[in-house]
Amino acid sequence: MASFPQLNIFEQIINLPEFKVKNYRFIDGFGLVLILEKKEKKAICPQCGKKSNKLHQNHRYKGRDLPMMEQDVYLRVNRRQFKCSHCQTPFTEHFDSIKKTRTYTERLAEKIITEVLESDVKNVARRNGLSEKEVETILKEKFSDLETEKPKGLKKLGIDEIAWVKGHKNYCAVLVDLETRKPVDILEKRTKECLRECFERWGTEVLENIEEVSIDLWSAYKNLVQELMPNAEVVADRFPVMTAGDAFGVMRISNRRVEIG
Ligand SMILES: [Zn+2]
């Protein structure tokens, strides 16, 4: 059994304040497995909003987290199911850092998306010890999460793209908050109609707050941005790649379109 100071150090390193580290294990050729437990003993019933501690069932969860010192990191945590003592509704507890039915932490998903935007699916999969399919799944699941959310406090918006369907020239649009470096929406297609639909879903409250929009590759969307975001200034691509051609005053715009497989 690991000692308290050891576990305490792990707790500080992994920095997931909702959990305490109960134990850990290094498995050769596999990585570091951290056994976690939620600190809060009670959970809020989504039905009546009251706190409950009446345990109904235990569900062991295993998921990937950010790698550490070139080791893959896995979390093992018990996601408890409660039965509300007020309204009798059974419900599963919520984790801030790991969404229900997901096999990875939120911060791993964010890291993967950021890396894909700066590189491509194939390289990100290889670098993170994931399959291309797993990277695609992370992107698609994040896409369905963001579909129901609206960005908060968005001031600087970046519009980027990722190619993700095997054998087809199929690109999706990724909208990024350039201040937090987090994706705020992922659209299945990078068409003007899809972008318009997304912006309209955000509503004027979000759109009027946007001060700057960085458009990567598609100057065709400038009009749409100007029409819907009255206070936004449109700027050029934020990741220009400098090449030998730069010596002659030529700048190549980064092209991150990559076929999978
Ligand atoms: Zn209840």
Q: Is the pLDDT of residue 227 over 90?
A: no
C-alpha 93 to ligand 1 mean position (Å): 12
pLDDT confidence of residue 238: 53
C-alpha 151 to ligand 1 mean position (Å): 30
At 97, is the pLDDT very low, low, confident or very high (cuts 50, 70, 90)?
very high
Of the candidate ranges 3-7, 167-171, 231-235, 240-244, the one whose mean pLDDT is the lowest: 240-244
C-alpha 173 to ligand 1 mean position (Å): 40
Higher pLDDT, 235 or 252: 235
- Amino acid letter, 137: T
C-alpha 44 to ligand 1 mean position (Å): 8
C-alpha 97 to ligand 1 mean position (Å): 23
pLDDT confidence of residue 256: 36
| Dist CA 42 CA 54 (whole Å) | 8
Of the candidate ranges 37-51, 52-66, 151-165, the one whose mean pLDDT is the lowest: 151-165
Higher pLDDT, 182 or 23: 23
pTM of the model: 0.74
The answer for residues whose C-beta is within 8 angstroms of residue 184's C-beta and 6 or more apart is 146, 149, 151, 154, 157, 175, 176, 177
C-alpha 86 to ligand 1 mean position (Å): 5
Instruction: Return mean pLDDT, the chain.
Output: 82
C-alpha 89 to ligand 1 mean position (Å): 6
pLDDT confidence of residue 136: 87
pLDDT confidence of residue 167: 46
pLDDT confidence of residue 38: 93
Q: What is the mean pLDDT of residues 73-90?
A: 93
Tokens matching residue 194: 């899809």
C-alpha 101 to ligand 1 mean position (Å): 22
At 257, is the pLDDT very low, low, confident or very high (cuts 50, 70, 90)?
very low
C-alpha 40 to ligand 1 mean position (Å): 17
C-alpha 82 to ligand 1 mean position (Å): 10
C-alpha 85 to ligand 1 mean position (Å): 7
pLDDT confidence of residue 86: 92
Question: Residue ranges of the alpha helices (H) in the chain?
Answer: 4-14, 106-118, 121-127, 132-146, 192-202, 204-207, 222-228
| Dist CA 180 CA 186 (whole Å) | 16
